[in-house]
Structure 1
Amino acid sequence: MYAIRQLFRFTYLEALSCLFPALIFLTLAVLKIVHVPYIPRYDLILIVCIVIQVVMIWTKLETWDELKVICLFHLIGLGLELFKVHMGSWQYPQEAWTKIGGVPLYSGFMYASVASYLCQAWRRLEVNLVGWPRTVWTVPLGIAIYLNFMTHHYVYDFRWVLTVLLFILYFRTWVLFRVGNAQYRMPLVVSFLLIGFFIWIAENIATLLGAWQYPNQEAGWSLVSFGKISSWSLLVIVSFMIVGQLKRVKQSQES
């Protein structure tokens, strides 16, 4: 019975942490059915995303420090989107006033929602990291992973090389998290794979709702390639590395 209560408590905390991405999915679903005259769909999504962000700060569901991290991810994500759309990796076929280089500005919130989840789950589950590698290793590896999303269009795709390096670097790193009075732990690399898998599921839902479109989906929606799980896992790893590094910097400043 205790295990069931803990599972429900954990699920509740995870659901709260996923509020931002869940509301974005709800927005995508509603605006796929409901059409507002004279305002393009992508622009409406952007307006709703901004309102959601303001309300979450106003209700204290998110802190100002978390908002700073989310804004950073918005910029990082937007930069990646501009490059990927330019290279034809995916597209946003609908018209909008708030499109730059073929990318609607709301797309940055997709990445920001991942940061929102990480920050809120970190706070609500009282996450701690054991065996976190030195900054001299984590920062260059994070930069290399991010750049590989772009450079693989021109040179060799180092995705699997970087994945091996990640396993070596984080093999001894554990995530400690608390549910109620009990503390649990999980290997960090396992959490990377789990989060990447669930984001891949979310990506399938998002493309089905018309958030963006891959080239193989132009004739009609189809399942996103399983290979995207590795891409999303790496992107989550970069996100986690940034949040983890910022948390460590803040802790060192407070101590």
Structure 2
Amino acid sequence: MKQLWTFGIEQAKSCLFAVVIFSTLAITQMIELSNRYDWILLICIITQIIMLVTHLETWDELKVICVFHIIGLALEIYKVHMGSWSYPEEAFTKVFGVPLYSGFMYASVASYLCQAWRRLDVRLVKWPPNWTVAILSAAIYFNFFTHHFICDFRWFLKIATVLLFIRTVVFYKVNDKVYQMPVVLSFVLIGFFIWIAENIATFFGAWQYPNQSDTWQIVHFSKISSWLLLVIVSFLIVAMLKHIKGTNKESHT
């Protein structure tokens, strides 16, 4: 129970950015704040500055988070344009129908991964070659765009992920005791919990799917598949950067 408690506390600390976003969504909806998308963006920026100043996040982690902000915002603009979902409320900080705060929702996933990696002293064993990881990450990301025009290759990409990482194991430390888990299982677990978070976010009006225009409904289970792929991209980018940085450190020592 002590180990489980410590693990839960470290996970909660790692989710701080996401908790701030969800809390802001809930509070701004309950008080019916006008232009709340703009307020959410302001709170996200202030939170990011505070986390950096208080050393809850490092400069290296901020760089990774900024990359995810750009990647996520580009995907949001495209998906809104294609009618996959919408942001119906008015805001000054909207670009092509997408509020800028939406990038922080993707950045919060990167923030969680970076912080959990550091707090739990994560290590990856039997990591595949970086070039294969880069190709797979790019293929998964661009499939979110191209499946509107050509075949959806998500199941092929999932199979490719399993085959590429079938031997990869993630080691993490809780109170100096080391545990291990197949990295593929970690993809599934993170994707599932993000789907739960998505239901909370849509309930508080973070964005809106077409079937939620009249009344809120639970997000379809098929979205777990999409989040699973997005988590894989996020994890692979963070892991690649950590792996490359670790390799560079070893080469200098």
TM-score (normalised: structure 2): 0.98
* From 222, 226, 234, the counterpart of 2:221: 226
Q: Which of the residues 178, 191, 196 maps onto 2:191?
A: 196
Distance 2:221 2:158 in 1: 16
Residue number in structure 1 paired with 2:108: 113
Tell whether 2:252 aligns with 1:239: no
Q: Which residue of 2 aligns with 1:145?
A: 140
Gaps in structure 2 of 5+ consecutive residues: none
Per-residue CA deviation, residues 197-219 of structure 1 (Å, 9 max, x unaligned), is 00000000000000000001001
Shift of 1:248: 1.0
Q: 1-side partners of 2:163 and 2:63: how far apart?
A: 31
What code does the residue aligned with 2:116 have? A
Deviation at 1:35, TM superposition (A): 3.7
Q: SS at 1:210's partner residue? A: coil
Where does residue 2 of structure 2 map in the other structure? 5
- 1:148-159 paired onto structure 2 within 5 Å: 148-159=143-154
- Note the C-alpha offset of 1:181: 1.4
* TM-score using structure 1 length: 0.97
**Corresponding letter in the other structure for 1:121:** A
Distance in structure 1 (CA, Å) of the matches to 2:55 and 2:243: 23
Superposed counterparts of 1:1-255, under 5 Å:
4-36=1-33, 40-255=35-250
What amino acid is aligned across from residue 226 of structure 1 in structure 2?
F
The letter for the 2-side match of 1:156 is: C
Kindly, what percent of the aligned residue pairs are identical? 60
Once the two structures are TM-superposed, the CA of residue 252 in structure 1 deviates from its matched residue by 1.7
CA distance in 1, matches of 2:38, 2:173: 39
Alpha-carbon separation, structure 2, partners of 1:60 and 1:114:
18
Q: Which runs of 4+ in 1 moved over 2 A?
A: none
Aligned mates of 1:216, 1:34 — CA distance in 2: 25
Q: Secondary structure at the match of 2:181?
A: strand
Unpaired segments ≥5 residues, structure 1: none
Alpha-carbon distance, 1:135 to partner:
1.3
Task: Name the count of aligned residue pairs.
Answer: 250
Structure-2 separation of matches of 1:181 and 1:252 = 24
